């Protein structure tokens, strides 16, 4: 049997819409990622288990694992012997934590290994991007790349899948809060403008290039100053069940150095750069979410 784990990720990171993403792992030993196992079977079977299995579609054709299996066989023009694939769904669906990327990455790596690695990493990466694009309505690798390759990643040329590792700051701790409701990527992309002003394009380029430069030159305060999203967040905050500007203010008062929408939302992230503020930031988000009877809050670090 082959079993593969793929971690959750934050796409966009405040800056870098559709280009920057970071793989994360909870520090308390929880699994925040999907596991896929492949084993021999007389018939083709897909089994869904895990914390969020009940959020998965019942129809086989809509199941991401099935879509990956189908595309893998088509791509290689082969009829492979049947298998049982078990998806342990530990990342909530449509949460902004790269849920579909987790399932795609874990499934493709697992089936590729099971059948003797017919695809190399580059082919796998392209296939992962293609399937993510089909599911979300457009190809963007800000979840797939860190989920597959680890660390903080920037996608430079989407269609060639050119991707680079960006050094991150070892002291950064990400507190993520998932509000327990679904916001599909397709929907949260539909609220974005088709066109942006020249001023916004220039400002966005300045923030993104500033962030990348600061990360490479170990200038933490510059990196934090550049974590400003003018492309997605101003249009998406209305999709959240909480008032983002009020939360941001409270989180900053507790010591978070940056906060924003994780991926396409509705999860929110708060970045801490010193360990002693993490409990206060955690409590602030927990109070808010527990009060509203919502999802979960987790303290995470970079997943390499
Ligand atoms: N960059 C993507 C978005 C992430 O914000 O729509 C979601 O997959």
| Cα 21 to middle of ligand 1, angstroms | 9
Feature table: binding site: 92-102
Closest ligand 1 atom to Cα of 189: 6
pLDDT band of 84, cuts 50, 70, 90? very high
Residue-wise pLDDT tens digits, 221-277? 999 999 999 999 999 989 998 899 999 999 999 999 999 999 999 999 999 999 999
Single pTM value for the model: 0.94
Q: Which residues pair with 26 in a beta bridge?
A: 300
Q: Whose CA is nearest to atom 5 of ligand 1?
A: 264
**Ligand 1 pocket mutation pick from 143, 184, 190 by most atoms within 8 angstroms of CB:** 143
Whose tokens are 């990622």? That residue is: 33
Distance between Cα 80 and ligand 1 center (Å): 33
What pLDDT, on a 0 to 100 scale, did the predictor assign at position 304?
Answer: 85
**Spatial distance between the Cα atoms of 253 and 9, rounded to a whole number of angstroms:** 26
DSSP structural state of residue 62:
G
Give me ligand 1 centre to Cα 193, in Å: 14
Centre of ligand 1 to C-alpha 113, Å, is 28
Q: What pLDDT does residue 79 have? A: 86
**258-261 and 152-157: which strand pairing?**
unpaired
Q: What is the mean pLDDT of residues 98-122?
A: 96
- Closest Cα to atom 4 of ligand 1: 263
For the CA of 12, the closest atom of ligand 1 is 1
| pLDDT in the model for residue 29 | 85
Burial (CB count <10 Å: 0-12, 13-18, 19+), residue 74: exposed
Report the distance separating Cα 139 and Cα 174, nearest Å.
26
C-alpha distances out from residue 181 to 55, 94, 116, 258, Å: 11, 8, 39, 23
Pocket of ligand 1 (CB under 6 A): 11-12, 17-18, 136, 140, 142-143, 185, 189, 232, 263-264
Residue found under tokens 């597959």: 148
| pLDDT tens digit sequence for 179-230 | 999 999 889 999 999 999 999 999 999 999 999 999 999 999 999 999 999 9
C-alpha–C-alpha distance, residues 70 and 111, integer Å: 11
Q: Round to whole Å and give the CA distance between 187 and 96.
A: 12
Alpha helices per DSSP H over the chain: 64-76, 99-114, 121-136, 144-149, 185-190, 198-216, 220-225, 233-236, 244-254, 278-291
**Percent of the chain residues past pLDDT 70, beyond the cut:** 97
Ligand 1 centroid to Cα of residue 81, in Å, is 35
């Amino acid at each position: 049997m082959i079993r593969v784990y793929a971690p959750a990720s934050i796409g966009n990171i405040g800056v870098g819409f559709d280009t920057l993403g970071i793989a994360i792992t909870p520090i308390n030993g929880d699994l925040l990622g999907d596991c896929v196992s492949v084993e021999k079977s007389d018939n083709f079977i897909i089994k869904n288990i895990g914390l969020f299995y009940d959020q998965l579609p019942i129809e086989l054709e809509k199941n991401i694992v099935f879509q990956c299996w189908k595309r893998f066989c088509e791509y290689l023009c082969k009829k492979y012997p049947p298998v049982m694939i078990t998806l342990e769904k530990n990342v909530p669906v449509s949460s902004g934590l790269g849920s579909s990327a987790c399932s795609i990455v874990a499934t493709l790596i697992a089936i590729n290994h099971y059948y003797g690695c017919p695809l190399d990493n580059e082919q796998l990466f392209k296939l992962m991007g293609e399937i993510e694009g089909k599911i979300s309505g457009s190809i963007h690798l800000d979840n797939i790349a860190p989920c597959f390759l680890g660390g903080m990643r920037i996608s430079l040329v989407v269609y060639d899948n050119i991707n680079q590792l960006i050094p991150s700051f070892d002291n950064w701790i990400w507190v993520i809060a998932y509000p327990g409701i679904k916001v599909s990527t397709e929907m949260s992309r539909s609220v974005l403008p088709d066109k942006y002003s020249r001023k916004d394009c220039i400002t966005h380029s300045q923030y993104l290039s500033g962030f990348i430069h600061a990360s490479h030159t170990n200038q933490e305060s510059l990196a934090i100053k550049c974590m400003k999203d003018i492309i997605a967040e101003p249009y998406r905050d209305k999709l959240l069940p909480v008032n983002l500007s009020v939360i941001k203010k409270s989180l900053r008062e507790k010591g978070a150095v940056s906060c924003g929408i994780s991926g396409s939302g509705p999860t929110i992230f708060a970045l801490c750069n010193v360990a002693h503020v993490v409990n206060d930031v955690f409590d602030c988000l927990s109070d808010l979410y527990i009060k509203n009877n919502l999802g979960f809050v987790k303290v995470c670090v970079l997943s390499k």
